[in-house]
């Protein structure tokens, strides 16, 4: 029983990380109608930067957040301006952002070589720390990711439902021209939203750098899980992303324990297919942005 409990706990927490990784794409897609694959590159780049800052300057990995988040917010802003200038529609955005993903991945490989990079226990105090409830462990790095995801999701929910900016975002998502007629500047809304999305992706990168070993090929391996979370959670729905992430994390974890690790991806994607067929608008429809 302890084994199952551990599997579930592990799944829930890693689900938070999955949610964090998926927030960027989900918000972009739902609110901005842009499928931005470059987010995978941002997560990866952020992770590498965290690694480099920690290793070169001896910073605590969590402290790097102070540098990383504003930096990537800016990157998101620039990216949105670029998309706006180039007038990409949803379909083109897929292709253009994939091109950007390839470019960034190559630049990462050129800069840091294709070899594996880990911060290492000396500089990374969070690597193997856990809280224990009974014999069940709550890994610290994953716990932080999970809590961040929850906080952000909650903040996004409040933002979208209670603030003027949130209303503006929803208006722009539904009909940019109408929104403009009501005094909302779609471009400014889009730019801010893009900055936020990218910052969230960067935050995911921080936790990845703390908890995993890095190599340039990591990014492409995330496609499957992130898209599962995005669809299951509903486009643009931050809370949905958290719920979806947890569901997928737990399903994979339990499947691993019951049937072995090979069964986990199968279960994950069967869930995705089920979601696509029976509830493609996501689990928490009423609260989605778009």
Partner 1 sequence: MTGRARTLIGFVVVGTALGLVPNLEEILTFPRFYLIFLFTIFFWVAQASSWNILTGYSGYFSFGQGAFYGVGVYTASVLVGKHGWSFITALPIAGVVAGATGLVLGLVVFRVRRLTGEIFALTTLAVAFVLASVARLSPSIDGGTGIFMTGTAVPEVLGEFTTAVYRLTLLIALVAVVTAYLIHDSRLGWGLFAIRDDEAVASGLGVPTFRYKMIALGANASLAGLMGGLWSIQLGFVTIDDVFNIRVPLFVILMSVLGGMRHWMGPVVGAVIITTLADRLNSAGLADVNQIVIGGMLVVLALAVREGVYVRMRRRWGTTAITFFGVLVVTIVLGINESLISDFAYAMVATVVVMLLPERAWDQIRRFFGRREPGAGDERAEGLTRTGS
Partner 2 sequence: MRQHRRWSYMAVITTLALIAAACGDGEGGATSTLAPGTTGAPQTTEAETDTETTAATGEPIRIGGTLALTGVFAATAAIHQATGEVFVERLNESGGLLGRPVEWVLLDDESTPDLAAAAYERLITEDEVDLVIGPYGTGNITAAMAVAQRYGYVFPHHTASLTYAYNYECHFSSWSTGLHPNITNPNLLYDAIESSGTPPETIGFVVNEFPGTMFISYGQPDTDEGGAVAEAEKRGWEVVLDVTFPIATSDWGPIAAQIKDADPDFLFIAGLGLDAPNIINAMQTIDYQPAGMFVQWPAPGPLLGTEGADGIMSVTIFEEHPPFTDDPEAVEVAADISQALADSGVPYTKVETQAAASWTAWEYLQQAAEGAGSLDQEAMCNWLIENGADTLFHGNIEFFPDQQNYYEDLSKIKQVQDGDWWVVYPSEFAAPDRSVIYSP
* The one among 70, 99, 120, 125 contacting partner 1 by CB under 8 A: 99
Cβ proximity to partner 2, 130 vs 163, nearer residue: 130
Question: Which of partner 1, partner 2, none has residue 113 at its interface (CB below 5 to 8 Å by kind)?
Answer: partner 2
Calculate the alpha carbon distances from 155 to 75, 85, 200, 208, 266 in Å. Answer: 22, 30, 12, 22, 33
- Closer to partner 2 by CB, 135 or 286: give it: 135
Helix axes 38-57, 2-27, angle to 10 degrees: 110
Dihedral sign from CA coordinates of 18, 46, 222, 216: negative
Shortest Å distance, C-beta 135 to partner 2: 9
* Run of H or E residues at 138: strand 136-139
Residue among 203, 229, 208 nearest 218 (CA) = 208
The entry of partner 2, partner 1, none near residue 95 (CB within 5 to 8 angstroms by kind) is partner 1
Choice from 35, 196, 250, 257 touching partner 1 (CB under 8 A): 35
Q: H-helix or E-strand containing 64?
A: none
Minimal distance in Å, beta carbon 211 to partner 2? Answer: 8
SS3 131: strand
* 109 interacts with partner 1 by CB under 8 A: yes
| SS3 (DSSP) at 214 | strand
84 touches partner 1 (CB under 8 A): no
CB 121 within 8 A of CB 128: yes
Residue 243 burial (CB count, 10 A): 21
- Output the smallest distance, CB 139 to partner 2, in A: 4
Provide, rounded to whole angstroms, the least separation between the CB of residue 66 and partner 2.
25
**Which partner, partner 2, partner 1, none, binds residue 223 by CB below 5 to 8 Å per kind?**
partner 1
The footprint of partner 1 on residues 233-272 (CB under 8 A) is 262-263, 265-266, 268-270, 272
Q: How far is residue 253's CA from residue 182's CA, in Å, rounded to a whole number? A: 48
Token pair listed for 40:
């995978």
| Cβ count within 10 A of residue 130 | 13
- Smallest distance from partner 2 to CB 146, Å: 12
- Least separation, in Å, of the C-beta of 165 and partner 2? 28
For residue 107, state whether it binds partner 1 (rule: CB under 8 A): yes
CB of 121 to partner 2, least distance (A): 4
**Contacts to partner 2 by CB under 8 A:** 2-3, 6-7, 10-11, 13-14, 85-87, 106, 109, 112-118, 120-122, 127-130, 132, 137, 139-140, 142, 211-213, 215-217, 221-222, 225, 249, 252-254, 256-257, 260-262, 264-265
| Binding piece for partner 1, criterion CB under 8 A, among 71-79, 83-91, 187-195, 207-215 | 83-91
- H helical segments located in 87-185: 90-112, 140-162, 164-174, 176-181
- The residue with tokens 């339990």 is 254
12's CB contacts (< 8 A; 6+ apart) are 146, 246, 249, 250
Give the binding site for partner 1 (CB under 8 A).
Answer: 29, 35, 86, 88, 90-92, 94-96, 98-103, 105-107, 109-110, 220, 223-224, 227-228, 231, 262-263, 265-266, 268-270, 272-273, 276-278, 280-281
């Amino acid at each position: 029983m302890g084994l199952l409990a551990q599997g579930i706990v592990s799944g829930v927490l890693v689900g938070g990380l999955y949610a964090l990784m998926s927030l960027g794409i989900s918000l972009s897609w739902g609110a901005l109608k842009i499928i931005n694959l470059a987010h995978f590159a941002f997560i990866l780049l952020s992770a590498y930067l965290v690694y480099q800052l920690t290793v070169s300057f001896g910073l605590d990995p969590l402290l790097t957040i102070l540098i990383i988040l504003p930096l990537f917010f800016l990157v998101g802003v620039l990216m949105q301006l670029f998309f706006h200038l180039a007038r990409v529609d949803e379909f083109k955005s897929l292709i253009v952002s994939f091109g950007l993903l390839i470019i960034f991945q190559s630049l990462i490989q050129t800069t840091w070589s294709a070899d594996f990079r880990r911060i290492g226990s000396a500089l990374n105090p969070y690597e193997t720390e856990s809280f224990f409830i009974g014999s069940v462990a709550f890994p610290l790095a994953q716990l932080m990711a999970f809590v961040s995801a929850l906080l952000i999701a909650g903040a996004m929910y409040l933002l979208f439902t209670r603030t003027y900016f949130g209303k503006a975002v929803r208006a722009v998502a539904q009909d940019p021209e109408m929104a403009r007629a009501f005094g909302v500047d779609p471009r400014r809304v889009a730019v801010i939203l893009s900055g936020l999305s990218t910052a969230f992706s960067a935050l995911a990168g921080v936790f990845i750098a703390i908890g995993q070993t890095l190599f340039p090929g990591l990014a492409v391996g995330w496609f499957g899980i992130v898209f599962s979370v995005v669809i299951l959670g509903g486009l643009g729905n931050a809370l949905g992303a958290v719920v979806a992430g947890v569901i997928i994390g737990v399903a994979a974890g339990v499947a691993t324990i019951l049937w072995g690790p090979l069964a986990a991806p199968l279960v994950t994607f069967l869930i995705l297919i089920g979601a696509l067929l029976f509830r493609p608008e996501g689990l928490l429809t009423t609260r989605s942005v778009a």
